[in-house]
């Protein structure tokens, strides 16, 4: 799906070149928390951002197909390849 990123979406993707917690995104993106959360949910639905959970066995963050949208602070986030390509204007 081709669409133009709005400023908040662009800033969220800009902040997610590395695995980051929600707090870090909230610090880096200049918008109210409810707006950032809504745009982050949208980017996840478009598969531009992946929600991650910490796996004790692997001692690393792993992708999760499901996340609790009411407890987004429990996850970490990372831009996907598709999200980074869209962010850089290649898609």
pLDDT digits (tens, 9 = 90+) for 28-66: 999 999 999 999 999 999 999 999 999 889 889 989 878
- Quick check: is 1 in a domain? no
- Classify 62 as helix, strand or coil: strand
The two tokens of residue 65 are: 């197909």
Give CA–CA dist 2/36, Å, rounded: 21
pTM of the model: 0.89
Instruction: Note whether residue 45 is domain-resident.
Output: yes
> 77 in a domain, yes or no?
yes
Q: Which domain range does residue 13 map to? A: 7-87
d(CA 10, CA 76): 18
**What are the start-end ranges of the H helices in 16-52?**
22-28, 33-45
Could you tell me if residue 63 is inside a domain?
yes
Structure token digits, residue 2: 């081709």
> What average pLDDT does range 14-40 have in this prediction?
96
For the domain that residue 36 is a member of, what is the CATH number?
1.10.10.10
Does residue 16 register a pLDDT over 70?
Answer: yes
Q: Which of 39, 65, 37 is nearest to 50 (CA)?
A: 65
Domain presence at residue 53: yes
Among candidates 39, 61, 34, 35, which has minimal Cα distance to 49?
A: 39
Domain count, the chain: 1
């Amino acid at each position: 799906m081709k669409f133009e990123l709005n400023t908040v979406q662009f800033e969220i993707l800009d902040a997610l070149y590395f695995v980051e917690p929600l707090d870090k995104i909230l610090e880096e993106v200049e918008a109210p928390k409810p707006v950032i959360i809504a745009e982050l949910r949208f980017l996840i639905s478009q598969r531009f951002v992946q929600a991650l959970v910490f796996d004790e066995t692997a001692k690393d963050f792993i992708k999760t197909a499901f996340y609790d949208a009411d407890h987004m602070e429990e996850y970490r986030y990372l831009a996907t390849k598709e999200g980074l390509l869209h962010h850089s204007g290649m898609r």
